[in-house]
Structure 1
Amino acid sequence: MEMQASAPTPPPSHGGEAPTKKGLVSTLMEATLRSSSFKEDSYFVSSLKDSEKKALEEFKCRLHKSDHFSNAAPDSKAPHVSMWGIPLLGGDERADVLLLKFLRARDFRVQDALVMLEKCLDWRKEFNADGVVDEDLGFKELEGVVAYMHSYDREGHPVCYNAYGLFKDKQMYEKIFGDDEKLKKFLRWRVQVLEKGINLLHFKPGGVNSMIQITDLKNMPKRELRVASNHILSLFQDNYPEMVARKIFINVPWYFSMIYSMFSPFLTQRTKSKFVIARENNVAETLYKFIRPENIPIQYGGLSRAEDVQSGPAKPASEFSIKGGEKVNLEIEGIEGDATIVWDLVVGGWDLDYSAEFIPTAERSYTIAVEKSRKMVYGDAPIHNCFIANEQGKLVLSIDNTNSRRKKVAAYRYVVRKSSSILV
C-alpha cells in the first residue's frame, strides 16, 4: 500500500506579526500576494501582437545584414551563428524563442535588441561560454551549497538555489574573492551553474523556456559581496535575457531594503515584477506555492535531500495545513502484521509538538509509542522514520500546534510494505 499525493493545498494567508511600520520588505511581500503568478511568454508567434510580429521579422532581417552573421559563413545562405546549439537564422522555431527573449528584454525595440544580441555573441566567444560546462574549476566546497540546480517547480521550470551565507566567514571570503583573479574564476563557476540550468530548458514554443532562481539571504555579508553581486547581476542581465521566470528571495532580513536599493538601478521593471519576497518565518509557506514539497530541499522546509535528486523522480507527498491552536492526527490505516511502514513528515517552520504511535486492531493489544512527544523547532530536519508492525493496526502521527496562533504548511508521505521487501 503506497500513498497517492492529494491535490495541492492552496497557500494559506500570510497572517502573523505584521510590523507596525510598513517598510520596503512589507510592501514587496504584499505585492507578491496581490499577483498570484508572473505570466510567462508562450513564445508562440501566432500569439504575438501585430507590432511584435513585425518587430520579430525586422529583427531577423537586420540579423542577416549584421557583420556577426554575414562574416560567419560567407558561402552559406543561412550563417551558422548559434547559441546553446540553436542556429539563430535558418527557420528553426527554437531560434524564434531566443530572438523573442532579446526583443522582450528591450521592449521590442529592434535596434536595442540587435545591439544586445551582438554584444552577447561577442561575450560568449570571448568567455568561451559554450565550453564552461565541462570545465573543472575546483569549487567542490561550493557545490550544492552556494549555487546549485535542484529539481523543478510545479510547472516544470528547473530551480536554481543561491546562498552566500558561507562567505560570512572571512577566511572563506578571502579564499574565493581575495583578488581579481579569484573573483573572475568564481564568476566563471557561477556562469557554469547557470549554463547547466539552461541546458535543461526546451527552447520551444509552449515549452519550459526559463528557470526559477531562489536566493537565500540568510547571513549574506552584504558589504563584502557587493562587487561580486554587481558583476553577477550585470553579467546575467546582459547575456541571459528572460531566462528567469521568477526570482524568489527567502530569509529576507530587515536590511533587505538596502540591498534592494543597491541593485534597483540595474534592474528593469519587468525583472522587478518577477520578485517574490519571503521572511524567515514563511519560507516554506512561500516555496510551497511554487514548488511541491518533495522537490524542496530539507533546509527550506521540504522533503528533498541532495542524494534523492540522483535516484530519479521524487516520491509524491500529500500537502495539508495546520491552523493555529489546532492538533492534527494523520492516520495510516489498514496495516497488516509483518509490515514495515516508512514515513516522512515536515512542517514549515515547525515550532510545535510531534509524536507517533501504533494502535493495534485487536482489543486486548496495547498501543505502542513509536516516537515519544517532542518539541520540533525551526531548523529541525524532516521526520524520516520506520516501524515494523507485528500485528494489524494503524499508525497515528500527531502534530500539535495548539501553542501557536500561526497557520503552518506541512507535507507527508509513506510506504507500507511487507518487511521482507522494504528498503529504508
Structure 2
Amino acid sequence: MEASSPLPLINPKLTIQQTQQHEAPTPSFKEDTHNVSQLKPSENKALKELKEKLSVSSLDSNSMWGIPLLGEDERANVILLKFLRARDFRVSDSLTMLQKCLSWRKDFGAEIVVEEELGFKELEGVVAYMHGSDREGHPVCYNAYGVFKDKEMYEKIFGDEDKLKSFLRWRVQVLERGINLLHFKPGGINSIIQVTDLKDMPKRELRLASNQILSLFQDNYPEMVAKKVFINVPWYFSMLYSMFSPFLTQRTKSKFVITREGNVTETLYKFIRPENVPVQYGGLSLKEDLQTGPPRPASEFTVNGGEKVYLEIDGIEDGATITWDLVVGSWDLDYSAEFAPCAEGSYTIAIEKTRRIAAGEEPIRNSYTSKEAGKMVLSIDNTNSRRRKVAAYRYLVLKPSST
C-alpha cells in the first residue's frame, strides 16, 4: 500500500463546527538575544569585562556542558550572558555566581551524571521527565509530584537524608538531559520550558525537597527556563501567587503561566502542538512515540458546549486502510465512528459504536480497511455539556497496492 496525501476532514456543508488551527501565541516573555552584535553597549562592555576577569581568576574548571568558557567559541557567550542577566549585568556578582557554579558542578559531578544509573525507574516518565518540544522548539520538562501523596512512596524516596540526596541527583540528571538538547548558539534554542503539575502535590511534606531543588536550580542554571507553566493549580496557590506577585520582577512574572484544573489541555495547546503533548494532559503523544522519530502533525479544533461535531474523511478507495488518532481535552462526551460507502443502496458500517469517554482516558487510536469506496465519519457529541473543549486529530490513508 502507499500513503495518500491528507484529505479535508470537515465537510464544508457542516457548519456546526469548523476546524481551526491554534496559531503560536505571542509569548509574554521575549527571550533575550545572545548575538553579541545586538547587545546594548553597556551589556557588551559587561560581557568583555566578565571574560577578562574570568581569564585571570582561578577556576576549578573552565568549561560547562563541554563548552570552553575561555576563547572565541560563540557558545561561551550564550552561557556567560545567562549569568550576567541573572545578576542584572553586575560583573562582579556574575563572576561570583559563575565560580560557585563551576565549583558545584565539579564537586557534584554534573558533567557525568547523565550517564549514571540512579535507580529511579519508577519515577521516570512520572515525576520529572523531558517530553517533546514546544511550538518554538524548546525542549519541555514536565514535573508532577502527586505520586508522593502516597506515604509509602514518600518514605521510599525521601525517608532520610541520603535518599533525598539521591533524589536530588536524579532530578539534576533529568535537567542535564534537557540542557543537552539546547543549541547554545545565537539565534538557536537556548532554554527549556517547564510544565509543573500541582495536582495532589503534598506541599507540606515536599517543602524541604522543593526548596532544595529550587535553590540548586536558581544558583546553577540561570536563565535556562524560557517559560514556567503551572497546571492543575489549587486555589491556595493562586492566592499565594497574588500575594507574592508584587515582589517579583516583571521579567520573572512574564515567564509564568498559571492554569486551574479543567483548562490544562487548552493551555498546553497554546504553547505545545497536540502531537507533542503527553496523553495524560489531553495530547496525542505517548512516550514510545518519541523513539520512532518526529511525530506526525495533528490538526486542532474546538468542540463548543452543546454541539455535536462530525469529522469526515472522504475519498477512501476500495481496499484502502485508514488509521486515525483522536483526542478531546477532558473528554466526558460521546464518540462513535462509522464508514459510509459511496455506492447507492450500501449500508453504513458501525466501526465503533457510540460510547461515553470519560475525562482522563487516552486518545482514540484505531484503523479500518474498506471493502468499497466511501468515507469515514467520526462523531464527537458534546451536547450534554456546556463546556467548550479543545480537540486534536490526525489520520493516514494507505491506498491499496497496485500490484
Contact in 2 for aligned 1:230/1:263 (Cα 8 Å):
no
**Cα distance, 1:257 vs structure 2:** 3.8
Aligned to 1:156: 137
**Cα deviations across residues 287-314 of structure 1 (Å, max 9, x unaligned)?**
0011110011100000001110111110
Contact persistence 2:29–2:251 (CA under 8 A):
no
| 1:26 corresponding residue in structure 2 | none
Code of the residue aligned with 1:334 in structure 2: it is: G
Among 326, 336, 339, which residue is 1:345 paired with?
326
Q: Check conservation: 1:11, 1:288, Cα contact below 8 A.
A: no
Q: CA deviation at 1:177?
A: 0.2
> How many aligned positions are there?
390
Which residue in 1 is equivalent to 2:387? 406
Structure 2 match to 1:3: 6
Contact in 2 for aligned 1:5/1:317 (Cα 8 Å): no
Shift of 1:402: 2.2
> What do residues 95-114 of structure 1 show as CA deviations (whole Å, max 9, x unaligned)?
00000000011111111111
1:38 equivalent in alignment to 2:29: yes
Shift, 1:417, TM fit: 1.2
Which residue of structure 2 aligns with residue 209 of structure 1?
190
Q: Which amino acid aligns with 1:38?
A: F
Summarize deviations over 1:314-357 as a string: whole Å, max 9, x none. Answer: 01111111222222111111111112111000111122221111
Q: Which runs of 5+ in 1 are unaligned?
A: 13-32, 73-79
Identity of aligned residues (%): 73
Pick closer, same or farther for the CA change 1:3–1:263 going to 2, 3 Å. Answer: farther
Superposition pairs of residues 247-266 of structure 1, within 5 angstroms: 247-257=228-238, 260=241
| Alpha-carbon distance in structure 1 between the residues aligned to 2:142 and 2:222 | 19
Q: Deviations over 1:112-131 (max 9, x none)?
A: 11111011011111111111
Give the distance between the partners of 1:155 and 1:212, measured in 2 at CA. Answer: 10
Which moved further from structure 2: 231-240 or 380-389? 380-389
Letter of the 1:129 partner, please give it.
Answer: A
Tell me if the contact between 1:40 and 1:245 (Cα under 8 Å) persists in the aligned partners: yes
- 1:75 corresponds to: none
Q: Which amino acid aligns with 1:3?
A: P
TM-score (norm 1): 0.87
Give the corresponding residue for 1:287. Answer: 268
CA contact 1:326–1:402 (8 Å) conserved in 2: yes
Partner of 2:67: 86
Kindly indicate whether the alpha-carbon contact (under 8 Å) linking 1:202 and 1:209 is maintained by their aligned counterparts in 2. Answer: yes
Q: Hey, what does 1:361 align to over in structure 2?
A: 342
Aligned residue in 2 for 1:323: 304
8 Å CA contact retained: 2:20, 2:302 = no
Q: 1:182 to 1:345 in 2, by over 3 A?
A: same
C-alpha spacing 1:310/1:270, structure 2 compared with 1 (3 Å)? same
1:204-231, Cα deviation, whole Å (9 max, x unpaired): 0000000011111111111110000000
Q: Would the aligned equivalents of 2:134 and 2:271 in 1 still touch at CA under 8 Å?
A: yes
1:106 equivalent to 2:100? Answer: no
CA distance in 2, matches of 1:299, 1:415: 23
Deviation, 1:271, is 3.0
Pairwise CA distance, 1:405: 2.4
- Partner SS state of residue 197, structure 1: helix
Other-structure match for 1:226: 207
For residues 328 and 98 of structure 1, what CA distance do their matches in structure 2 show?
Answer: 49
CA separation of 1:4 and 1:169: change in aligned 2, threshold 3 A = farther
User: Matches of 2:271 and 2:400 in 1, distance apart?
Assistant: 36
Structure 2 stretches of 5 or more lacking a match?
A: 10-18
CA contact (8 A) 1:59 1:114 kept: yes
Deviating above 6 A after TM superposition, structure 1's stretches of 4 or more consecutive aligned residues are 4-8, 261-267
Tell me how large the CA RMSD over aligned residues is: 2.4
- Could you tell me how far 1:270 is from its partner in structure 2? 2.9
Report the secondary structure of 2:6's partner residue.
coil
- Residue range with higher mean Cα deviation, 151-160 or 1-10: 1-10
1:9 and 1:57 map into 2 onto residues whose CA distance is 45
How far apart are the structure 2 equivalents of 1:230 and 1:270? 21
Structure 1: distance between partners of 2:82 and 2:178 = 17
Q: Does 1:296 align with 2:296?
A: no
Query: What is the SS of the residue equivalent to 1:281?
Result: coil
Cα distance in structure 1, aligned partners of 2:332 and 2:164: 40
Q: Matches of 2:8 and 2:85 in 1, distance apart? A: 38
Matched residue type, 2:31: E
Contact 2:114 2:173 in 1 (8 A): yes
Letter in 2 for 1:215: T
> CA distance change for structure 1 residues 268 and 198 in 2, over 3 Å: closer, same or farther?
farther
| One-letter amino acid of the structure 2 residue matched with residue 109 of structure 1 | R
Deviation, structure 1 residue 264: 7.6
